């Protein structure tokens, strides 16, 4: 990737991300919402590419756009009795909208307020390479890595245990 | 920010804040358990963008933010798996995925 991120590319990915999130919340069909979530995850992978995090972009596509989207779609299909049940009633949630708007405005204000303490505007030219990423992950972060694999194993067993039918 | 100039850290953080707020709104307002879990994924996604962006702009050689983002992805993958398993368990018992049907502990 180039050292400088062009504003046009960033704006395209930002529009895809936020527009997809808005559409996911605006559509009343749960299946359509799952596909909009998939689109948001793919646009986020593009943002990771802009930030020269190629490995994370690949993991994002594999884990979120692949497994999580399929898992969500399977759950939707398993928990719908009729095709019409995918259409949800209209739920504006005005109180939640006000709260989320206030929260977002507060965070944006804080980011703007402390902008002078952030690192300077342009991206550093030095790009960390993938080999260094792997080396760091398996030396300095080896113990957290093993704990993360244990977390995944426990989550796997727990998910099978909870969703398995006849055992209970 | 003009169009052809390099993008700064502020733009990424603003994008992440907007995405997080949208996820917060979805998680608080939806009544379908699957939609709530999908909104939680949106919020986790916003956090990951923030981690990677700050790591890239402040200390790109140390990669700490990217490694944190990997661990955060692990936790959110475990969360969505367990959450959807809970939704299926709820559906077996109640034949519905509405959050309103879970209120045994309501005072």
Note whether B2 contacts A: Cβ–Cβ < 8 A: yes
Does a structural domain hold residue B23? yes
Q: Please answer whether residues A61 and A45 qualify as being in contact, where contact means their C-beta atoms are separated by less than 8 angstroms.
A: yes
Kindly report the nearest CA distance between residue B107 and chain A, in angstroms.
22
pLDDT at residue B1 greater than cutoff 50: no
Q: Please answer whether residues B35 and A88 qualify as being in contact, where contact means their C-beta atoms are separated by less than 8 angstroms.
A: yes
Q: Give dist(CA A21, CA A43) in Å, integer.
A: 11
Looking at per-residue pLDDT, the higher value among B25 and A119 belongs to B25
Least confident of A10-14, A66-70, A113-117: A113-117
pLDDT at residue A119 greater than cutoff 90: no
pLDDT of residue B95: 81
Which whole-number Å values give the CA distances from A54 to A1, A128, A134, in the listed order? 9, 10, 12
Considering only CB atoms, A163 lies closest to which of B74, B85, B97, namely: B85
Does a structural domain hold residue B4? no
Tell me the pLDDT of chain B averaged across its residues: 87
Q: Give the N- to C-terminal CA distance of chain B in Å, as an integer.
A: 52
Instruction: State pLDDT tens for residues B38-68.
Output: 999 999 999 999 999 988 888 777 888 899 9
Does a structural domain hold residue B62? yes
Domain count, chain B: 1
Residues A26-40 have a mean pLDDT of 92
Q: What is the pTM of this model?
A: 0.89
Considering only CB atoms, B34 lies closest to which of A75, A111, A158, namely: A75
Q: How many residues does chain B have?
A: 107
In which band, very low, low, confident or very high, does the pLDDT at A73 lie, cut at 50, 70 and 90? very high
Residues A110-137 have a mean pLDDT of 79
Considering only CB atoms, B10 lies closest to which of A63, A111, A151, namely: A111
pLDDT of residue B73: 93
Considering only CB atoms, A14 lies closest to which of B15, B21, B81, namely: B15
Does a structural domain hold residue B47? yes
Q: Do A126 and B60 touch (CB under 8 A)?
A: yes
In which band, very low, low, confident or very high, does the pLDDT at A118 lie, cut at 50, 70 and 90? confident
Give contacts of B 36-55 with A, CB under 8 A. 37-39, 41-42, 45, 48-49, 52-54
Looking at per-residue pLDDT, the higher value among A82 and A10 belongs to A10
CATH architecture of A7-88: Up-down Bundle (1.20)
Q: Do A4 and B6 touch (CB under 8 A)?
A: yes
Q: Give dist(CA A106, CA B38) in Å, integer.
A: 24
Residue numbers of the domain that contains B49 = 9-101
Cβ-based contacts of A6 with chain B (< 8 Å): 4, 6-7
CA dihedral A19, A22, A26, A30 (to 10 degrees): 90
Domain borders along chain A are 7-88, 128-168
In which band, very low, low, confident or very high, does the pLDDT at A23 lie, cut at 50, 70 and 90? very high
Does a structural domain hold residue B58? yes
Q: How many residues does chain A have?
A: 168
Cβ-based contacts of B21 with chain A (< 8 Å): 100-101, 103-104, 107
Q: Please answer whether residues A77 and A86 qualify as being in contact, where contact means their C-beta atoms are separated by less than 8 angstroms.
A: no
Q: Do B57 and A119 touch (CB under 8 A)?
A: yes
Q: Give the N- to C-terminal CA distance of chain A in Å, as an integer.
A: 53
Does a structural domain hold residue B3? no
pLDDT at residue A75 greater than cutoff 80: yes
Instruction: State pLDDT tens for residues A84-93.
Output: 777 877 778 8
């Amino acid at each position: 990737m180039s050292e400088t991120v062009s504003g046009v590319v960033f704006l395209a990915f930002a529009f895809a991300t936020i527009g997809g999130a808005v559409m996911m919340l605006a559509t009343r069909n749960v299946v359509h919402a799952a596909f909009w979530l998939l689109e948001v995850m793919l646009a986020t992978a593009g943002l990771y590419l802009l930030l020269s995090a190629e490995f994370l972009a690949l993991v994002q596509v594999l884990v979120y756009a692949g497994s999580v989207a399929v898992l969500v779609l399977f759950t939707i299909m398993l928990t719908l009795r009729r095709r019409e049940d995918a259409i949800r009633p209209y739920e504006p949630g005005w109180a939640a909208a006000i709260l989320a708007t206030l929260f977002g405005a507060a965070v944006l204000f804080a980011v703007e307020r402390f902008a002078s303490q952030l690192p300077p505007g342009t991206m550093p030219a030095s790009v960390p390479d993938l080999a260094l990423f792997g080396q760091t992950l398996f030396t300095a972060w080896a113990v957290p890595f093993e704990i993360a694999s244990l977390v995944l194993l426990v989550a796997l067993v727990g998910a099978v245990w909870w969703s398995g039918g006849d055992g209970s | 920010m003009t169009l052809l100039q390099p993008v700064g850290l502020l733009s990424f953080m603003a994008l992440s804040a907007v995405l997080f707020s949208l996820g917060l709104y979805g998680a608080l307002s939806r009544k379908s358990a699957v939609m709530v879990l999908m909104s939680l994924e949106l919020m986790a996604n916003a956090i990951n963008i923030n981690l990677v962006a700050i790591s890239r702009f402040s200390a790109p050689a140390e990669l700490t933010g990217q490694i944190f983002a990997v661990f955060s992805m692990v936790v959110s993958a475990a969360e969505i798996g367990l959450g959807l398993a809970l939704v299926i368990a709820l559906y077996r018992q109640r034949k519905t995925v509405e959050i309103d049907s879970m209120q045994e502990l309501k005072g």
